[in-house]
Amino acid sequence: MEENKRNLFALNGITGMLIATALLISILVVLTYLGLSVQQNEASNFYEIKNAKDIKTNSVDNAKHYNLKGSK
């Protein structure tokens, strides 16, 4: 860039870095909040396994043995 066209507070300078940092931190805060809310909702959502001895290693029928107790 030419010497007279540089600007410390342009979008590719300090201002752009601060905007990018604030955007990344806000995304982190939102995703953390959403993750914690899902974790709190599912903490009381228990499950039960019926006939555990009949479960095969790689079988689509294994879903029949899984039952959600506190589903909403």
The amino acid occupying position 24 is L
How far apart CA 38 and CA 72 sit, in angstroms, is: 13
Q: What pLDDT does 1 receive?
A: 54
Measure the CA–CA gap between 19 and 1, rounded to whole angstroms.
22
pLDDT value for 49: 79
More confident residue, 26 or 65: 26
Which residues are within 8 A (CB) of 49 and not within 5 positions of it... i.e. 6 or more apart?
55, 65, 66, 67
User: How far, in Å, are 22, 47, 49, 67 from residue 52 at the CA level?
Assistant: 49, 13, 6, 12
User: Which pTM was predicted?
Assistant: 0.59
Averaged pLDDT for residues 32-42: 93
